[in-house]
Amino acid sequence: MPRKQTERIDERKKEILSLVESRGEVSTNDVVRITKLSHSQVFYILKLLSKDGAIKEVRRGKVAYWKSTKKQEVDSPDDTD
């Protein structure tokens, strides 16, 4: 049976999602280093965020990078000359 998400997990999800969105792309080890959480804690939160559809995993060799699925706003030039 899946564990119930606690407030602490929700706080960590928000913190890590904010980190991913601000940096554009981060590796699992980047998140571990920045948040000072264990690798297993970070991986668990990243997988929850991925399951929620907030981020996606991009593998490059042995390294997993995480990107936000949120659309980036793109400035488009005005063609109203």
What stretches of the chain adopt beta strand conformation (E)?
Answer: 25-27, 55-60, 63-68
The gap between the terminal CA atoms of the chain, to the nearest Å, is 61
| Domains of the chain, earliest start first | 7-68 (1.10.10.10)
Give the pLDDT band of residue 2 (cuts 50, 70, 90). low
Express each pLDDT in 58-77 by its tens digit. Answer: 999 999 999 999 865 444 45
Q: pLDDT per residue over 14-45, tens digit each? A: 999 999 999 999 999 999 999 999 999 999 99
Q: Rounded distance, CA 45 to CA 17, Å?
A: 9
Residue 3 burial (CB count, 10 A): 7
